């Protein structure tokens, strides 16, 4: 299985699984079951429910966790897709914030896209 890009910073979840495992494999949503390896630190990654409806992916060594992910994300493939979309959205939001900060610093707010309230 291809590694899953967890965050836009390049952190990946590596799955050193038997080669027959594919993206349709269900995520092991149990805090004691190995779900993969954290590329950055080599820690074991677990998937842990945080509520009735959401879970997080966290690393046993460095403690890095994802934001809560909805339970509908139930396979490795869907996790891959969800992370891709979220990383893209976060990057776009950050770009907008940087752009807003830049505009306000130079007091050219009104010259922008006219989106200000």
Angle in degrees, CA 40, 66, 98, rounded to 5:
90
> 14 or 71: whose CB is closer to Zn ion?
14
User: At closest approach, how far in Å is the CB of 90 from Zn ion?
Assistant: 19
What distance in Å separates the CA atoms of residue 51 and residue 7, rounded to the nearest whole number? 22
Q: Which two tokens stand for residue 30?
A: 């149990």
Cβ 48 to Zn ion shortest distance, Å:
14
Distance (Å, whole) CA 114 – CA 96: 13
Cα gap 66→25, rounded to integer Å: 20
Nearer to Zn ion, 38 or 80 (CB): 38
In the complex, least distance from residue 88 CB atom to Zn ion, rounded to whole angstroms? 23
Residues lying near Zn ion in the complex (CB under 5 A):
38, 41, 43, 59, 61-62
Q: How far is the CB of 19 from Zn ion (least distance, A)?
A: 24
Task: Give Cα separations from 40 to 4, 92, 100 (angstroms).
Answer: 13, 24, 32
């Amino acid at each position: 299985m291809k590694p899953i890009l967890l965050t836009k910073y390049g952190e990946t979840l590596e799955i050193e699984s038997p080669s027959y495992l594919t993206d349709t494999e269900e995520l092991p949503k149990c805090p004691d079951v190995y779900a993969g390896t954290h590329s950055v630190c080599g820690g074991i990654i677990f998937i842990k429910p945080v509520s009735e409806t959401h879970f997080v992916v966290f690393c046993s060594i460095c403690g890095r966790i994802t934001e809560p992910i909805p339970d509908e994300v139930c396979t490795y493939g869907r996790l891959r897709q969800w992370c891709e979309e979220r990383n893209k959205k976060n990057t776009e939001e950050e770009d907008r914030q940087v752009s807003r900060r830049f505009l306000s610093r130079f007091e050219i707010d009104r010259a922008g896209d006219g989106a200000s309230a």
